[in-house]
Structure 1
């Protein structure tokens, strides 16, 4: 589904990504772990065409490096940024409609699917999105992205600042998305969530992948956790 080989990215003279390699298969949840500033969000932005980079990025066998972000989105890549980026002056329903890939084409996700996944959105369908709680806005952003019918969805720090109950709801939503065959690349700080829902995890440090394996193998590797994850 997705493959990165020797990807390098820069912000000015700062060499942020220094040869990143990773891959995802269909319906797989993979989490990028690591401390702030190690290049996790930049990796997602590189895939989405938001930063200039070198190397190889393939999506469903096609080289997408150098394409515009909207071209990558049309190929089936969804992106949920950390800042959520809802349209606060529009209603919940209008926000969801804006995510539709084609107005008259039926994808694997409908408006009713979104309401079934998160009933609170249906209750507040005609409410301005700007008055939603942080957790509700996060769910709206994920659901709006799904309305574009992506094969891969990349989600940056979805549980940041959320109450424990809302964190559980986000984790459950991600599981249900993967069950429909959508691959998920997740950037997350909370180790417990990553270990609970991921099939594989990558740990990043200094712009490189320093660990790849299953949640169980990471749990068993105290050295990696101490050096690259724990404060």
Structure 2
């Protein structure tokens, strides 16, 4: 269980974001503590992915995004990444013409060498044997699950302290979903905090310490997985189809 005295690693306050004239994020507030997995749940279109993009500087944010007490709102994405944040987008954005190994190398920060951080390529291959077997073939031939693991591993190669992962189990077979859950727990055990954007309650409730539910651009629930399961009204209104 989370030590309630843990320091806040990421603290987001009154966050707003727009696509053109559309007001997508309408005063979002949440935090992620050191060493914590936090799940961000909600239906499609409520602003979960936009929240990640606003934190990462890919969408212009209005409000406060503090990482270990330092304000990041308004800074370019490359500076936010250098501060220690990683982001795995929903679209599994690999380089299909490059090999698995080359994709992993691209995850290193400028001047960083393999093995200098918490993660090395060999460690990735130890955890994910499928990637080892396909290390020197083009990433375009990987399965959906392998591509998902590759995108997460490439982000980890940059040795982030905090990582946002958007819909990692989307379209994956149940067995692969379980492997993704194991991977998330392993990442957290190595001291990386995680914001997990998910639709699948089962995986989110299994790995998360705390849960936020988003509805129409703002948070409508914060609590433990147990508290969410006990709150039928929130689940019916904001999560269930």
Matched, 1:104 2:118: no
Q: Post-superposition shift, 1:104?
A: 2.9
Any gaps of 5 or more consecutive residues in structure 2?
Answer: 1-8
2:102 corresponds to? 94
1:17 corresponds to? 25
Distance 1:117 1:147 in 2: 13
1:209 corresponds to? 219
Q: Provide, for residues 73-105 of structure 1, a one-character-per-residue CA deviation record: whole Å limited to 9, x for no partner.
A: 111111100001101111111110110123337
2:140 corresponds to? 130
Any gaps of 5 or more consecutive residues in structure 1?
Answer: none
Q: Secondary structure at the match of 1:153?
A: strand
* CA RMSD after TM alignment: 0.8
- Within the candidate set 38, 48, 59, 1:30 is matched to 38
Q: TM-score, normalised by structure 2?
A: 0.94
Q: Post-superposition shift, 1:214?
A: 0.2
Matched, 1:165 2:175: yes
Q: Provide, for residues 181-219 of structure 1, a one-character-per-residue CA deviation record: whole Å limited to 9, x for no partner.
A: 100001101011110000000000010100000000000
Deviant stretches of 4+, over 3 Å: none
Q: Secondary structure at the match of 1:83?
A: coil
Q: Provide, for residues 112-166 of structure 1, a one-character-per-residue CA deviation record: whole Å limited to 9, x for no partner.
A: 1101121111111111100000110000000000000000010000000001111
**2:55–2:61 Cα contact (<8 Å) kept:** no
Distance 2:102 2:141 in 1: 14
Matched, 1:183 2:193: yes
Distance 1:212 1:113 in 2: 35
Matched, 1:219 2:224: no
1:85 corresponds to? 93
Q: Post-superposition shift, 1:52?
A: 1.3
Number of positions where the alignment pairs a residue of Structure 1 with one of Structure 2? 231
